[in-house]
Amino acid sequence: MKKKVLHTLLSVTFGIGILAASDSSVHVSANEQNSKQEVNVKNLYVIAFQNELPQDYREIIEKAGGEVVKTIPEIGGVEAQSGHSSFLQNLSKLTSIEAANREIPLALNDPTAKLSAQQDSTVNQTEPESYWDNQWDMQRVTNNGKSYEIETGGYTDKDGETVHKAVVGVIDTGIDMSHPDLKNNIVGGRNLVPAGIDESETGDPNDIKDRNGHGTNVAGIIAANGKVKGVGPELGIRSYRVISGQGFAMPAWVIDAIMAAADDNVDVINMSLRLYNNTKMIIEGTTYKTAAETILWKRAIQYAVNNGVTVVAGSGNESLNLDDKNQVNKFLNMIYEPYGIKVEGAATAVPAQLPGVINVSASIKWSTRELAFYSNYGNSAIDVAGPGGDLGPEFAETFDPETADQSCLIFNTWPTYLGSSYNYMAGTSMATPQVAGVAGVVKAANPQFTPAQVTARIKQTALDYGKIGQDPLFGAGEANAYRALNNIK
């Protein structure tokens, strides 16, 4: 019964995301090779060519009845739009194309949103010199700040400038460039949201302004250095904005961001986002395979790993056993049914369950035996856990808002122009940057480490919560910066 109630609660936030995306008639202006065609997000497709893009890829797409919107040439990827019902069938006849499928939007889904204006104003009115006492998560991950004595991710040079020994790419909603706790650690970024999603979206590649708050909070957990602290207070942050102010993104934008981050020589990628790829999706009676999307996700992640990037992603907030494909599909079909969508075949949480990615579940303040009530899990799925927070033990048992304990949430940075400079959040979105921050400081202290070595160090030194050894909830355990830097196994 408890699981049924939980899935009903989660379906509210998840369903809103699907509604905003799949029922949207929003048109966006594409910028592929300076073109300005109008793009309907309902008619977008992902295409994976066999190898690299052929010289006549544009002609191939046009003959099949589509228009090119975005290219990712390093991995043979194309995002295209088409209003022709025969588009996929036409592409399936071409030997140069490995797979193609309809593109399904990705939507943010955190189990707790930002707190009320009254609670935010309380944060603002208090204005202490430090909020360290509010950061139970950071106290735990850094062993009460002792990891800072070993590695912060950078140092201050003789001119008083911060030198970053490692950089974390945050693929998210953007960042507050002027936040006092973040601005010294922001080393740039890129916008991959096209023009026209809403009036604020112009397609400017330099527009990484966070319209949501999610990305700024994630960045703070990694590298805040002010009234709140991150895991690596002197790590560099490079922001890749892929999620619009409406809270959704197309997978091709995220895949493109992975490639961009790898080309920008970041050391770690944080993706506090997820979607589910099924081998078959039926939309309004038409069957689509998601092979192309999966192929391009895998190619992009492999490209990043081959370029020395450690990739970290969240497992998701649906309280699902990711090893149980029937349970996952049952849940997805419950959510998708009102929108004329049905899924079949094996489901994969993307990008978290793909090879080369550290898959993170969410641990909590008050127990080392239980996960956060919302966190996904699975024996073959989870690598490690990170503090994700929740609303306390009574809420986890009853889901009664009257029992909510905000001190069990994760407290960190928030865009200064969205009502408060700091905020409480929870989710695998908050757990993931804890682990990405640990990866960042490990890389800073060991610049010769490969992604496999960074991953092994994090897993081998994690605090062994739950059952002894690898388990379905915590994987190898909760990631810990102090233990990782000291190689305590």
> Is a pLDDT exceeding 50 seen at residue 296?
yes
pLDDT at residue 19, as a whole number? 29
Say if 176 falls within a structural domain.
yes
Whether 130 and 89 share a structural domain:
no
Say if 13 falls within a structural domain.
no
Q: For 69-97, write each residue's pLDDT tens digit.
A: 999 999 999 999 999 999 999 999 999 99
Last residue of a domain, one of 64, 82, 104: 104
pLDDT at residue 106, as a whole number? 81
Please compute the mean of the pLDDT values over residues 480-489 and round it to a whole number: 97
- CATH code, domain with 40: 3.30.70.80
Whether 158 and 229 share a structural domain:
yes
pLDDT at residue 285, as a whole number? 82
Has 172 been annotated as catalytic? yes
Say if 189 falls within a structural domain.
yes
pLDDT at residue 282, as a whole number? 87
> Is a pLDDT exceeding 80 seen at residue 170?
yes
Whether 213 and 318 share a structural domain:
yes
pLDDT at residue 111, as a whole number? 67
- Contact partners, residue 460, CB within 8 Å, separation at least 6: 476, 487, 489
Please compute the mean of the pLDDT values over residues 128-139 and round it to a whole number: 96
Say if 9 falls within a structural domain.
no
Please compute the mean of the pLDDT values over residues 426-446 and round it to a whole number: 98
Has 429 been annotated as catalytic? yes
- Ranked by mean pLDDT, which of 82-86, 237-241, 329-333 comes out on top? 237-241
pLDDT at residue 245, as a whole number? 84
Say if 16 falls within a structural domain.
no
d(CA 107, CA 113): 14
Question: Who wins on pLDDT, 216 or 105?
Answer: 216
d(CA 489, CA 479): 12
pLDDT band at residue 109 under the 50/70/90 scheme: low
Which of 7, 27, 179, 214 is catalytic? The answer is 214
Whether 221 and 296 share a structural domain:
yes
> Is a pLDDT exceeding 70 seen at residue 142?
yes
pLDDT at residue 430, as a whole number? 98
Q: For 368-404, write each residue's pLDDT tens digit.
A: 999 999 999 999 999 999 999 999 999 999 999 999 9
Give the tokens for residue 179. Answer: 């936040």
Q: What's the burial of 93, exposed, middle or buried (CB within 10 Å: 0-12/13-18/19+)?
A: exposed
Please compute the mean of the pLDDT values over residues 279-303 and round it to a whole number: 89
Please compute the mean of the pLDDT values over residues 299-305 and round it to a whole number: 98
**For 18-27, 122-131, 405-414, which range has the lowest pLDDT when averaged over its residues?**
18-27
Say if 5 falls within a structural domain.
no
> Is a pLDDT exceeding 70 seen at residue 22?
no
Whether 80 and 185 share a structural domain:
no
Which of 120, 172, 267, 390 is catalytic? The answer is 172
pLDDT at residue 196, as a whole number? 81
> Is a pLDDT exceeding 90 seen at residue 180?
yes
> Is a pLDDT exceeding 50 seen at residue 120?
no
Please compute the mean of the pLDDT values over residues 449-473 and round it to a whole number: 97
> Is a pLDDT exceeding 60 seen at residue 253?
yes
Q: Based on the structure, what is the number of domains in the chain?
A: 2
- CATH code, domain with 251: 3.40.50.200
> Is a pLDDT exceeding 90 seen at residue 112?
no
pLDDT at residue 340, as a whole number? 84
Please compute the mean of the pLDDT values over residues 167-180 and round it to a whole number: 98
pLDDT band at residue 293 under the 50/70/90 scheme: very high
Whether 235 and 280 share a structural domain:
yes
> Is a pLDDT exceeding 80 seen at residue 189?
yes
pLDDT at residue 330, as a whole number? 95
Say if 4 falls within a structural domain.
no
Whether 164 and 133 share a structural domain:
yes
pLDDT band at residue 361 under the 50/70/90 scheme: very high
**For 125-134, 302-311, 323-332, 357-366, which range has the lowest pLDDT when averaged over its residues?**
125-134
Say if 124 falls within a structural domain.
yes
Q: Return the percentage of the chain with pLDDT > 70, whole number.
A: 88
Please compute the mean of the pLDDT values over residues 215-233 and round it to a whole number: 98
* Structural domain harbouring 160: 117-486
Question: Who wins on pLDDT, 178 or 245?
Answer: 178
Whether 391 and 248 share a structural domain:
yes
> Is a pLDDT exceeding 70 seen at residue 444?
yes
Last residue of a domain, one of 56, 81, 104: 104
Q: Judge contact between 269 and 169, C-beta under 8 A.
A: yes
Average pLDDT, the chain: 89
Whether 238 and 320 share a structural domain:
yes
Whether 322 and 272 share a structural domain:
yes
Q: How far is CA 454 from the centre of its chain?
A: 19
Last residue of a domain, one of 70, 104, 138: 104
Whether 70 and 204 share a structural domain:
no
Whether 432 and 463 share a structural domain:
yes
**For 25-39, 99-113, 124-138, which range has the lowest pLDDT when averaged over its residues?**
25-39
